[in-house]
Amino acid sequence: MAKNKTMPTEVSVSSFIESVENEQKKADSYRIIELMSEVSGFQPKMWGPSIIGFGEYHYTYKSGHSGSAPLLGFSPRKAAISLYVFTGLESHKYLLKDLGKFKMGKACIYIKKLSDIDEQALRSVMESTIGFLKKTWG
């Protein structure tokens, strides 16, 4: 069975953010940390080399594959900020209607800058995701 590559590390979150070259992404990252900390109740922790995660849940799929992942997370990448805040479920897509300007990936939401989205709508998406993950995985 393959081992998960994205695991919690002891790397400093602030050191990682300070290494981001784009000043807007750096400022947005600090604000996203505030939002995700408030919503999740957890402090940020690095997961792998580039994901800032909040909290943790454990999963086991029907295939037997199991692992851990952050309840919420994000990564300030060069092209966009990747937000790991959405379940991806069709029944939860209504939560995205007021979010603002973003692109959907398979497992994340991409934004250019935080001001492109509505923070209250983002909070709703995050709260729904945490509720779903806790209900599904305990």
Cα angle: 23, vertex 73, 35; to 5 degrees = 70
Domain 13-137 has CATH 3.10.310.40: no
**pLDDT at position 1:** 47
Burial class (CB in 10 A: 0-12, 13-18, 19+), 83: buried
| DSSP per-residue codes, 1-32 | -PPPS--B----HHHHHHT---HHHHHHHHHH
Query: Residue 82 forms beta bridges with which residues?
Result: 75, 110
Say what the pTM is: 0.92
Q: Using 50 as the pLDDT threshold, list the residues of the chain that sit under it.
A: 1
Cα angle: 75, vertex 77, 82; to 5 degrees = 45
Whole-angstrom distance, CA of residue 26 vs CA of residue 20: 6
**pLDDT at position 138:** 81
At 34-49, the pLDDT tens digits run 999 999 999 999 999 9
**pLDDT at position 90:** 86
**pLDDT at position 2:** 54
Other CB atoms within 10 A of residue 48 CB: 15
